[in-house]
Amino acid sequence: MSGAAGPSKKAKTYHFHTEWEEEFFFTMSFSKCVCLICRAHIAVPKRGNVERHFRTVHKTYETDFPPKSELRKRKVKELKTLLSGQQAFFTQPTSKARAAAEASFRVSHTIITHKKSFQDGEIMKEAFVAAADSLFRDFKNKSEILSSIKALQLSRATVTRRCEAMAGDLTQQLRKDIMDCECFSLQLDESTDVSDTAQLCIFIRMVFADMTTKEELLTLLPMKEHTRGQDIFQSFKNFIEKTQLPVCKLVSITTDGAPAMVGRANGFVAKCREEDAFPDFLNYHCIIHQQALCAKMLNMKEIMDVTTKIACSIRARSLQRRLFRAHLENTDCDHSELLLHTDVRWLSRGKFLQRFRELLPEIKEFLLVAKHVEYNQLNDNQWLLDLAFLTDLTNMLNELNVELQGKDKTVVNMISSVNAFKRKLQHLSSKLQHHNFTSFPNLSSELETQQTAHVQCDSARYAQELDSCLSEFNRRFQDFALLEPVATFMCYPFQENVEVESLASKIATLFHLNSSEVEDEILTLQTDIQLKSRAHGELWNLLTEEKYPNTRKCAMSLTAFFGSTYLCESAFSHMKIIKSKYRSTMTDGHLEACLRLATSSYCPDYTSLADSIQCRSSE
């Protein structure tokens, strides 16, 4: 006997025929052959099986309803309608429950993205019902609409579960994108929440093969004890091991410049460089933080001391604040309050000085009536000129700060903004030396006011102040200055008179490439007629990996760079609202989930989320 097994016999497939409905009172329902009379199922839809069941079990139907008669056709139609109605009776509640579950996910998402409490779902449901009672008053199906709204599950526990499920869905979408992207950059910052837990916020910027980018919250890591460089690194390392983050794709890290982040020996960045799993990457000090530090170098202590002391004397006591507001109201002033300044808020100094200048007459009158301490500086013409000049300069710095903020800002945009401001400072310094004050509205206004006083404006001193501010900008932005020639070439690689050897050396140093290979690619690229003809389109999408591997890598890395930690700072603003003093017991997991939903550009897959749970309507 042969040891080899013979070929297996192919199973025969049987198909239901529609004529059997009228002939044998059978139909196909949910892939099953069902008898319309007794609801019995036939395992194999074979003519013999169907006919045997009909002849033996329902033989009276053959005489009661003669074949091919109108009576038989009406009976078959009636039985099919009855079967459909019975099936709908069981499936309709299930579909309604699924719709209610999906609506529950959508409402929960709205609640969380607006940073509201989980228990606000019950308030929204109550508002739905109250509004529906009026909106659908004349609708014939009003009761059905109200019952559907009442079926929504929006209790505190339900919204909490929905939040966890949606955050998990967004995390899965993020992980898929991380695996698909070509490279990514990170920005990190740390802040303390309302319960004194240090929260390490990490955002990721991913670049894909088509040069598109996405910016998302990677994670929020609670720091329960110390926040030293090694502690931050250990928390991040544990996260990498837990999530299998492909750090081999990392090209840069941007931080706030704190010693714990950039310390030479024990800083977070130094610890990352020591780890073998991390590739060679660049690190940057947040460009917005550097701009804010440059603003702090202004010689404004004498101005800020006096203005801050006056503002605090008015705002510190409730009675004085009420009296000052009443004074402003009586004088029909455009403003109703005096602002306060804090160093933590970058834009507050310029707004504070501008409001102080605008309310200066009212402040002087109020201090005189209230018999406060006399401030001779308010009548000193030179001090008032200094106040006006510093108000103008801080307003310019504020405009730059706002320009540097925002999502999806590339490092190229930021470098351009800073360079434009440096050129502006040079231009303004030259104008001041020629006694041209047209770019300083507050200073011009003050000079017009003091014309009768014959006060000479010390424009040379103000020009020197601008020069010192410019030198501070030049000193602080050295890391971005090294990147500037590379960014210029990448924005338009076909410019003439490019020093190829020098440029290739800078690119190779920055991105750890072979200098000679980069030189060859630059020369090839600049003589590529087809690419040059499409230079104003998506140029880097056209570069093939085989022909331009180094320049393509350079373009992707440059696109991935974070220029600032704006996203982290913005996330901390969200965090202060989400985990407020009224929700101080919120867990770290729920805080991360809420923050992810509030900041993400992804949209949860409501349908699949509703299908993944046991759908039940609210009682």
pLDDT of residue 363: 86
Each as own residue / partner, the long-range contacts of residues 301-307 (CB below 8 Å, 24 or more positions apart, any chain) are: 302/383, 302/386, 303/353, 303/383, 303/386, 303/387, 303/390, 304/341, 304/349, 306/375, 306/377, 306/383, 307/341, 307/352, 307/353, 307/356, 307/387
Is a pLDDT exceeding 60 seen at residue 562?
Answer: yes
| pLDDT band for position 3 (cuts 50, 70, 90) | very low
* Contact yes or no for 593/599 (Cβ under 8 A): no
SS3 (DSSP) at 136: coil
Section 94-99 average pLDDT = 77
Is a pLDDT exceeding 80 seen at residue 598?
Answer: yes
Side chain identity at 455, as an amino acid letter? Answer: V
From the centroid of its chain, how far is CA 17?
56
- Euclidean distance between CA atoms 150 and 410, whole angstroms: 47
SS3 (DSSP) at 207: strand
pLDDT tens sequence across 366-401: 888 777 677 788 888 888 888 898 899 888 988 888
pLDDT tens sequence across 120-131: 999 998 998 899
From the centroid of its chain, how far is CA 297?
32
Length of the chain: 619
Name the residue with higher pLDDT: 22 or 123.
123
Side chain identity at 270, as an amino acid letter? Answer: A
Instruction: Give the alpha-carbon dihedral of 549, 550, 554, 560, to 10 degrees.
Output: 40
- Euclidean distance between CA atoms 170 and 597, whole angstroms: 8
Neighbours of 557 (CB within 10 A): 23
Section 428-437 average pLDDT = 87
- CB contact set of 298 (below 8 Å; sequence gap of 6+): 390, 393, 394, 465, 469
The string over 86-118, giving b where at least 16 C-beta atoms fall within 10 Å of a residue's C-beta and e elsewhere, is eeeeeeeeeebbbbbbbbbbbbbbebbeebbbb
Placement of tokens 């929504």 in the chain:
152
- CB contact set of 365 (below 8 Å; sequence gap of 6+): 327, 331
Is a pLDDT exceeding 50 seen at residue 4?
Answer: no
Structure tokens at 586: 């919120």
Backbone angles phi, psi at 144, to 5 degrees: -65, -40
- Euclidean distance between CA atoms 601 and 162, whole angstroms: 18
C-alpha angle 553/558/560, rounded to 5°? 95
pLDDT of residue 91: 47
End-to-end Cα distance, the chain: 70
Q: Mean pLDDT check: name the lowest of 67-71, 242-246, 565-569, 598-602.
A: 67-71
- Euclidean distance between CA atoms 513 and 525, whole angstroms: 17
Handedness of CA 584, 589, 592, 595 (dihedral sign): negative
pLDDT tens sequence across 315-362: 888 888 888 888 888 888 888 887 877 766 666 788 888 888 888 888
Placement of tokens 């490092």 in the chain:
411
pLDDT of residue 238: 92
SS3 (DSSP) at 587: coil
pLDDT of residue 449: 81
pLDDT of residue 171: 94
| pLDDT band for position 97 (cuts 50, 70, 90) | confident
Give percent of the chain with pLDDT exceeding 70.
92
Is a pLDDT exceeding 50 seen at residue 2?
Answer: no
- CB contact set of 291 (below 8 Å; sequence gap of 6+): 397, 400, 401, 404, 418, 473
Neighbours of 266 (CB within 10 A): 13
pLDDT of residue 12: 66
Name the residue with higher pLDDT: 266 or 16.
266
Section 548-556 average pLDDT = 84
pLDDT, the chain, mean: 84
pLDDT tens sequence across 143-194: 888 888 888 888 899 999 999 999 999 999 999 999 999 999 999 999 998 8
Closest CA to 596 of 177, 172, 72, 258: 172
- Euclidean distance between CA atoms 72 and 441, whole angstroms: 95
| pLDDT band for position 453 (cuts 50, 70, 90) | low
25 conformational bin, left if phi > 0, alpha if psi -120 to 50, beta if neither? left
Supply the DSSP symbol for 249.
G
Helix residue spans in 224-339 (DSSP H):
229-243, 259-262, 268-274, 287-296, 301-315, 318-330
pLDDT of residue 344: 60
pLDDT of residue 1: 41
C-alpha angle 527/212/532, rounded to 5°? 15
Three-state SS for 34-57 is EECCCCCEECCCCHHHHHHHHHHH
Helices then strands, counting H and E runs in the chain, come out as: 27, 8
Is a pLDDT exceeding 50 seen at residue 87?
Answer: yes
SS3 (DSSP) at 381: helix
pLDDT of residue 183: 92
Is a pLDDT exceeding 90 seen at residue 114?
Answer: yes
pLDDT tens sequence across 503-523: 888 888 888 788 888 888 888
| pLDDT band for position 84 (cuts 50, 70, 90) | confident
- CB contact set of 214 (below 8 Å; sequence gap of 6+): 177, 181, 205, 206, 208, 601
- Euclidean distance between CA atoms 188 and 246, whole angstroms: 17
Helix residue spans in 340-458 (DSSP H):
348-358, 360-370, 381-404, 411-433, 441-449
Is a pLDDT exceeding 90 seen at residue 14?
Answer: no
- CB contact set of 181 (below 8 Å; sequence gap of 6+): 206, 207, 208, 214, 249
